[in-house]
Amino acid sequence: MVEELSSRVLSHRRINVSAGSMQVTLMNGSVVDLAALSLDKTVVVEFFYTQCSGCRDILPALRRISAMSGTLVVSLTVSPYDDHAALSAYIRENNVTWPVGRTPPGILQKLNISSYPTVVVLSNGVVIFIGIGAKPEEPNPEDMFPPTADGLSGLLGAIAELYTPAMLITLGLLLSAVALLIGGGHAEEEAEASITSDTTALPAFNDSIRGYYSEAVSLYTHDEEQPTL
């Protein structure tokens, strides 16, 4: 746990100083002595304030430590401007799942704390570690790169379970029926397009009546006198 904090803070030192009495008031109104609690568990105390942007960088490490057995994490604000509403909003927005309270008078001077965040570790009534500042968490490589071959095979396996042979056969029959319907529609359109409206081979009605003999009769009537009987 100390190694975890050492890697997440900007600077740290290991000490062996008696904590004395460290009574703090939590948001729920209860008063606890952190030094007394450290007699049977490791107590990690974060000193912060809600407007401290760097204080948020230590929260992922505190979240992991709070999940460890035999460990208690407590965050104490050092700002008089952090009222109950501000602390409640901070807890909600940053998913703080451990107790939050206020720093008692004199403790900052006793531990020579002047930078934030500062993390103090107590064990058996003794301060054994002080860490100052926080390093931003590195992004998870799994969020930066596409799935590996194992992940891809798992995805393909899930797809294979979803599309069973019976489902694939049904899907194939459905696609075939759709293709036939679409193809039939095109066939009718092509058949209609093949019927032309060309009527040039049909002679005009008047020309078909006026043949050679009708013209001959007309000429004979106008150019020669009819023979007398």
Cα separation values, 172 from 93, 161, 180, Å: 51, 17, 12
pLDDT in the model for residue 10: 97
Residue type, 33: D
> Does this model's pTM top 0.75?
no
Choice among 108-112, 149-153, 177-181, 217-221 with the minimum mean pLDDT: 217-221
Q: pLDDT at residue 192 above 60?
A: no
Please provide the DSSP assignment of 100-147 as one string. Answer: EEEPPTTHHHHHT--SSSEEEEEETTEEEEEEES-PPPPPPHHHHS--
Q: pLDDT at residue 161 above 70?
A: no
Q: pLDDT at residue 220 above 90?
A: no
The structural domains of the chain, ordered by start, are 2-132 (3.40.30.10), 149-223 (no CATH)
Asked if 45 contacts 128 with a C-beta cutoff of 8 angstroms, the reply is no
Per-chain mean pLDDT for the chain: 80
pLDDT in the model for residue 89: 98
